[in-house]
Amino acid sequence: MLHPSLRKSLDFVLPLLVIALIGSNILLIRQNQRLKTELPLPSALAVHREEPLHDIGGVGFDGRFRAVELPHSAAEHLLVFTFAPRCPECVLSKSFDIALSEQAKKLGWRTVWISRGDPDETRAYCNASGIPLEETLVNPPYATYLKLGLAAVPQVVAIGANGKVDEVWLGRLNMESAKAATQFLLDHPGTQASNTAHLASP
């Protein structure tokens, strides 16, 4: 049995220790949030220009896995948009992304949208935004997640011959970056007349 004086001391000290522990946890959470905001994305999780991509794919709204057909020749170009329905930056970038996609298809580029969100959320987002469901993939496998840097969305990836990354626009598009992306498309016209995403069946 504890001595009364010791019990009294514990009754006084224990609440202080609990308060201190809660305070330290709150501080650690805030520090982690700050670090996530301030630190750049690790290079291993980012897409880089000149990097060749392969085995990119995801699940279509028919429930089947689809591999993205990458360009083979210098005249072929593919524009990949990555997003997540719950991503505030993606929502802000959406109008620029859609306009860029339409411009790309007029110039002979193929386009595909890859969502980090679940199928139901993605379907609702696409329907509300005018993003073609037939050009959209969800549930990308981990290899695609890493290769396309899906830890950071939104982004636009321009892919050229042999699946090589020609340009990357990381983060939401604004008037300036959208203008630069449009000029890039104009400087690199494609040859594909079809507006389909060229998603191959397994």
Among 27-36, 52-61, 171-180, the range of highest mean pLDDT:
171-180
**Do residues 73 and 35 both lie within one domain?**
no
- pLDDT tens digits, 113-156: 999 999 999 999 999 999 999 999 999 998 888 888 888 899 99
**Do residues 104 and 7 both lie within one domain?**
no
Which helix (H) or strand (E) is 59 found in, with range? strand 57-59
Is 109 within 8 Å of 191 (Cβ atoms)?
no
pLDDT of residue 29: 40
- Percent of the chain surpassing pLDDT 90: 56
**Do residues 30 and 11 both lie within one domain?**
yes
Mean pLDDT of the chain: 80
CATH number where 92 lies: 3.40.30.10
**Residue 14 structure tokens:** 């224990």
pLDDT of residue 1: 55
Mean pLDDT to the nearest integer, 149-169 = 91
Closest among 156, 150, 186, 157 to 174, alpha carbons compared: 156
Mean pLDDT to the nearest integer, 3-17 = 53
**Do residues 34 and 74 both lie within one domain?**
no
**Do residues 73 and 158 both lie within one domain?**
yes
**Do residues 146 and 52 both lie within one domain?**
yes
**Do residues 119 and 153 both lie within one domain?**
yes
More confident residue, 187 or 48: 187
Domain span including residue 192 = 43-200
| Contacts (Cβ under 8 Å, ≥6 apart) of 48 | 165, 168
**Do residues 65 and 13 both lie within one domain?**
no
**Do residues 1 and 84 both lie within one domain?**
no
**Do residues 18 and 105 both lie within one domain?**
no
**Do residues 30 and 49 both lie within one domain?**
no
d(CA 123, CA 49): 30
Which helix (H) or strand (E) is 113 found in, with range? strand 110-115
pTM for this entry = 0.74
- pLDDT tens digits, 89-115: 999 999 999 999 999 999 999 999 999
Length of the chain: 202
**Do residues 33 and 95 both lie within one domain?**
no
pLDDT of residue 87: 94
pLDDT of residue 199: 60
**Count: domains in the chain:** 2
